[in-house]
Chains A and B, each alone.
Chain A
Amino acid sequence: MKFRTRAIHVGSEPDETGAVIPPIYLATTFIQPGAGEWGTFDYSRSGSPTRARVEKVLADLEGAAGALAFSSGMAATHCAMMLLEAGSHVIASNDIYGGTYRLLHKICSRNQIEVSLVPAHDAESIADAIRPNTKMVWIESIGNPLITIPDIPAIASITRPAGILLGVDSTFVPPAILRPIELGADIVMHSATKLLGGHSDCLAGVLAARDRQLHDRLYYTQNATGAVLGGLESFLLHRGIKTLSLRVREQSSTALRIAQWLEQHPRVRRVLYPGLASHPQHARARNYMGDQFGTIISFELTGDIAETKRVCSATKLFGLAVSLGAVESLIEQPATMSHASYDSAARAAAGISDSLIRLSVGLEDADDLIADLDQAIGS
């Protein structure tokens, strides 16, 4: 069956009540058949019926051996990083979410994990950074906030023979568009708070693993550390997934229109969107993503930081807020908001300028969003 049909039905198989939407289980513990005998579920940190259902559909949609749902995207990333140990080296993209940068440099570093940042859209830069103790490469399938596109198969062809795990944060590119495991990734991570949940109302994270053994290692850590997704949030996430492919297609098509409109605007210096022919990795994006290029656009104004702040505050439909991927459109300034956790030197090195604006394109009508940007940017 096709993606959208599976998104609606896998994991929603009827239980004994026949309910077309399975009941929400909030139970923290489960009665066991006997002392020392275990039923399917025992304690909800180890697994619960509602979480198991959303994990099932996520694994199916990602083409993974299994999926795990976490209380946030960072909890998921942290669980993946706990596969490493003191003395391990991790290579990460220099175009990554500020929270991941902070985790690697301020938390993992305390456990003697070494971090190198490289321009991951150039696979050679990863090959060059490999050391004998390199255990993991962590990239984003679309970089945040500079919208760089890595060549996942090329990177996998470097990491796989070397026994290095390839983790892909695919938050910007949900499985309706691209499935990193099919391209060679070992672990896929999502901040499911974004497009998967899609409604700005549940925090959640996902890890999906290529093979059962890796899944079991991640599950062991998840169960041992306990950053699991609750029953109500699992239900909301699952509900959001049912409209995922519709939302992503519509929001991607609106984003492309907005990117094209911005590119012609005299007050816009440059637009970073993979669907534009001007994007440096446009051909690669087209190859891996087909005709949907995601819902995130970054662009730079011709004005200074004050002008950037003014525009971010002048929109009426785009809300000024971090986060992304939901039905409501958002606008933000990465330098002071989503990427404020970068050191300023690292921000400059990565090319995150003060005049950069990041848009998350929602489900509103494209005409309404363009009219809003038009009045905010001015003439």
Chain B
Amino acid sequence: MHDSITVDSKPAPTPNQSSSQQPHRAGPSTVSVHAGEARQKPNDAITDSICCSSTYTFDSTQSILDYIHEKQDREEYGRYGNPNEKVVERKLAALDGAEDAILYSSGMAAIVGLLMTKLNAGDEIVFFDECYHRSREFCFKHLSRFGVVTHQVKTGDFDAMNAAINDRTKMIVSESPTNPHLTVVDLEQFVALGKERGVETLIDATLASPFNIQPLEYGVDYVWHSATKYLGGHNDLLAGVISGSKEKLEPVRKLRGILGCINAPHNMYLLERGLKTFALRMQRHNENGQRVAEFLASHPRVEHVYYPGLPSHPTHAIAKRTMKGFGGLITFLVRDADWRQTGSIIDACRIPRIGPSLGGVESLIEQPMVMSYFDYAPEQRAKFGIADNMIRMSCGIEDADDLIADLEQALSQS
């Protein structure tokens, strides 16, 4: 196995320039198409074959002994990984600028796999409070059962985070941008705090994707993506990934082999295929997100728009400094609407489908209060900043004009 993509830099030559043999830094679309794959594949096929084997055979007892003694890089049993998964792990590592990446059967399986590896009874972690409600639920309801203590502090409040760290703290965690408020965290400050206090740092970059931000460049220890979203991109697979250094990820991979939350080869093939258009799709998600956010911000029925690409967003300056684009997810509040009236605007939309998830080619729309927080008490929802009149829309790659026209007609109803 070898990669065909080199990663040093050289501008495109002009025709009369002599062909120098300097390495050339591949752009994000070239990396999306080629990185991680063997240049020449079995049977000379241009795409990777789907290898559905549950186990892998040895030609003799001696081969097993060689495998054990020499720590050979080969397959053994499907729970420890498969060739399709390894290709995608290499491609994702290249996109994240990481040494290694580990795939899981879903985004939640990835965070659970990492936290279960790194935390023991008595350890503590600190989260910024704007986060995916299932991440929060796992820490408070389940990690707590194993003696791990979770603290939450206000998003972006580094003094509060610093104060919450003690000598039992092992890790600080944040999303960037956060869900659903799209707050962008200052990664320089985040990493500096982790280094100063000797704790590891984890960023959930699902909403940014490796196209828009590269947290490892800032010195973050682990990057986590729900690959179900922009990476897969077609709303047709579940997967999660953790990127970082080989050394830090080695025990994580070992535990995954025991827990078994791996990806089936068919699923990995779809993810690999989806990644081919990753850079292209992200450009469009970024464009659509920006245009739809600007449209909403100017609409009289919209009270407020949360989108890091708008100057009105409190973390716009950080976003502008650190992100290439701002993605397709937009959260907004409807003016003078209760939760029923807000729901009727969603029901009036004809293009975005009503559903959870984000980052696929098809636009999706939902009301966080109904979709994710319906069972919470009003005061809890208020604590997490989930307003009754809040709508979250994931802009797909349809024409922005169509999305805007659809929102226009939906907002003009009733």
User: Which residues of chain A have a CB within 8 Å of any CB of chain B?
Assistant: 1-5, 8-9, 12, 14, 18, 20-21, 199-201, 236, 239, 242-243, 246-247, 250, 261, 264-266, 316-317, 319, 321, 323, 326-328, 330, 362-368, 370-371, 374-375, 377-379
B310 CB to closest chain A CB (Å) equals: 24
Question: A247 touching B47 by the CB < 8 A rule?
Answer: no
CB distance from B129 to the nearest CB of A (A): 30
Known: A2-B402, A243-B397. A9 touches B351 (CB 8 A): yes
Q: Pick from A4, A200, A370, A377 the residue with the most CB of B within 10 Å.
A: A4
- In the complex, are the beta carbons of A14 and B402 less than 8 A apart? no
Asked, given contacts A4-B399, A20-B364, A362-B33, whether A367 binds B234 with beta carbons under 8 Å apart, the answer is no
Are B30 and A365 interface neighbours, CB within 8 A? Answer: yes
Option from A243, A261, A323, A368 in Cβ contact (under 8 Å) with B27: A368
Bound Cα distance from A225 to B315, whole angstroms: 62
* Pick from B234, B236, B280: contact of A246, CB under 8 Å: B280
Q: Does B362 contact A (CB under 8 A)?
A: yes
Q: Which residue of A lies closest to B405 (CB)?
A: A1
**Closest chain A CB from B139 CB (angstroms):** 29
Q: When each residue 293-305 of chain B gets 1 if its CB lies under 8 Å from chain A and 0 otherwise, what string results?
A: 0000000000000
Partner among B11, B16, B273, B280 whose Cβ is within 8 Å of the Cβ of A367: B11
How many Å from the CB of B379 to the closest CB on chain A? 32
Q: Are B273 and A370 interface neighbours, CB within 8 A?
A: no
Establish whether residues B10 and A317, one from each chain, have CB atoms under 8 Å apart when the complex forms: no
B21 pairs with A375, CB closer than 8 A: yes
The answer to whether A239 and B236 touch across the interface, beta carbons within 8 angstroms, is: yes
Is there an interface contact between B281 and A243, defined as CB atoms closer than 8 Å?
A: yes
Tell me whether A317 and B4 are in contact in the complex, defined as CB-CB below 8 angstroms, given that A20-B362, A21-B235, A367-B27 are known contacts.
yes
Closest Cβ of chain A: how far from B354's Cβ, in Å? Answer: 9
CB-CB under 8 A from A9, the residues of chain B are 351, 362, 398
Q: Tell me whether B15 and A243 are in contact (CB under 8 A).
A: no
A-chain residues with CB within 8 Å of residue B203 when the two chains form the complex: none
Q: List residues of B (328-378) whose CB comes within 8 Å of A's CBs.
A: 351, 353, 355, 357, 360-362, 364
Bound Cα distance from A317 to B17, whole angstroms: 20
Q: Check: B225 CB closer than 8 A to any chain A CB.
A: no
Which of B16, B276, B397 contacts A327, CB < 8 Å? B276
Given the contacts A14-B353, A21-B234, A21-B236, A200 and B397 also touching, CB distance less than 8 Å: no
Q: Is B24 engaged at the interface, CB distance under 8 Å to the other chain?
A: yes
B160 to chain A, nearest CB (A): 39
Residues of B contacting A364 in the complex (Cβ-Cβ under 8 angstroms)? 26-27, 29-30, 33-34
CA A366 to CA B11, docked complex, whole Å: 11
B284 within 8 A of A: yes
B215 CB–A CB distance under 8 Å: no
Question: Which of B28, B47, B277, B398 sits near A5, CB closer than 8 Å?
Answer: B398
Check A200–B33 contact: CB distance below 8 A.
no
Kindly identify which residue among A2, A326, A365 contacts B401, using a CB–CB cutoff of 8 Å.
Answer: A2
Report whether A328 and B46 are in contact in the complex, using a CB–CB cutoff of 8 Å. Answer: yes
Whether A374 pairs with B397 at a CB distance below 8 angstroms is: no
Contacting residue for A365 out of B17, B29, B276, CB 8 A: B29
Contact status of A5 and B273, CB under 8 A, knowing A239-B236, A362-B33:
no
Contact of B18 with A by CB under 8 A: yes
Within 8 A of A (CB), among B243-269: none
Q: Which of B12, B281, B351 has most A Cβ within 10 Å?
A: B12
The 0/1 profile, CB within 8 Å of A marked 1, for residues 274-290 of chain B is: 00110011001000000
Asked whether, in the complex, the Cβ of B276 is within 8 Å of the Cβ of A8, the reply is: no
Given contacts A365-B26, A379-B18, contact A246 B47 (CB under 8 A): no
Task: Say if the beta carbon of B42 comes within 8 Å of chain A.
Answer: no
Q: How far is the CB of B63 from chain A (nearest CB, A)?
A: 32
Pick the contact of A266 from B15, B47, B353 — CB < 8 Å? Answer: B15
CB contact under 8 A between A316 and B4, given known A364-B27, A367-B27 = yes
Would A8 and B396 count as touching, CB distance under 8 A?
Answer: yes
Of A5, A9, A201, A319, chain B has the most CB atoms within 10 Å of the CB of A5
Q: How far is the CB of B49 from chain A (nearest CB, A)?
A: 10
- In chain B, what residue has the closest Cβ to A262? B15
Question: Given A239-B234, A266-B15, A363-B276, A8 and B46 touching (CB < 8 A)?
Answer: no
CB distance from A371 to the nearest CB of B (A): 5
9 interchain residue pairs of minimum CB distance? A365-B27, A367-B12, A364-B30, A5-B398, A2-B399, A5-B402, A21-B236, A327-B276, A265-B15
* Bound-complex Cα distance A376 to B363 (A): 42
- Convert B6-48 into 0s and 1s, putting 1 for each residue whose CB lies closer than 8 angstroms to a CB of A: 0000111101111101001011111011100001000000110
A-B contact pairs, 30 of them (CB 8 A): A2-B401, A4-B398, A8-B362, A20-B362, A199-B47, A239-B236, A239-B273, A242-B362, A242-B397, A246-B277, A246-B281, A247-B277, A247-B280, A266-B15, A317-B4, A319-B46, A321-B46, A327-B33, A330-B46, A363-B280, A364-B29, A364-B33, A365-B29, A366-B12, A367-B27, A368-B12, A370-B13, A371-B13, A375-B19, A378-B19
Which of these, B17, B21, B24, B276, contacts A199 with CB under 8 Å? B276
Instruction: Decide yes or no: A242 and B361 within 8 Å by CB, A250-B280, A363-B29, A375-B19 being known contacts.
Output: yes
Cβ of B396 and Cβ of A246 under 8 Å apart? Answer: no
Partner of A317, one of B16, B28, B30, B284: B30
CB-based contact B19/A374 at 8 Å: yes
Residues of A within 8 A of B357 (CB): 20
Judge whether A8 and B33 touch: CB under 8 Å: no
With beta carbons under 8 angstroms apart, the residue of A4, A330, A363, A371 that contacts B12 is: A371
Select the residue from B34, B281, B364 with max chain A CB neighbours within 10 A. Answer: B34
- Residues on B with C-beta less than 8 A from A378 are 19
CA distance A18 to B351 in the complex (A): 15
A200 with B29: in contact, given A20-B362, A363-B280, A374-B19 (CB under 8 Å)?
Answer: no
Interface hub of A8, A200, A236, A239 (most chain B Cβ within 10 A): A8
* Complex CA–CA separation, A179 to B401 (angstroms): 22
Docked pose: A12 CA to B281 CA in angstroms:
19
Q: Are B4 and A374 neighbours in the complex by a CB distance under 8 Å?
A: no
| B13 nearest CB across to chain A (Å) | 5
Contacts of A371 in B (CB 8 A): 10, 12-13, 24
Set A4, A199, A377, A379: member contacting B397, Cβ < 8 A? A4
Closest to A251 in B: B280
Shortest CB-to-CB span from A209 to chain B, Å, is 27
Distance between B228 CB and nearest chain A CB, rounded to angstroms? 12
Chain B, Cβ-Cβ closest to A371: B24
CB distance from B34 to the nearest CB of A (A): 7
Instruction: For the complex, give the distance between the alpha carbons of A319 and B34 in Å.
Output: 11
Instruction: Please give me the residue from chain B that is nearest to A376 by CB atom.
Output: B19
Give the one of A3, A9, A265, A377 with max B CB within 10 A: A9
Chain A residue with Cβ nearest B32: A363
Q: How far is the CB of B291 from chain A (nearest CB, A)?
A: 14
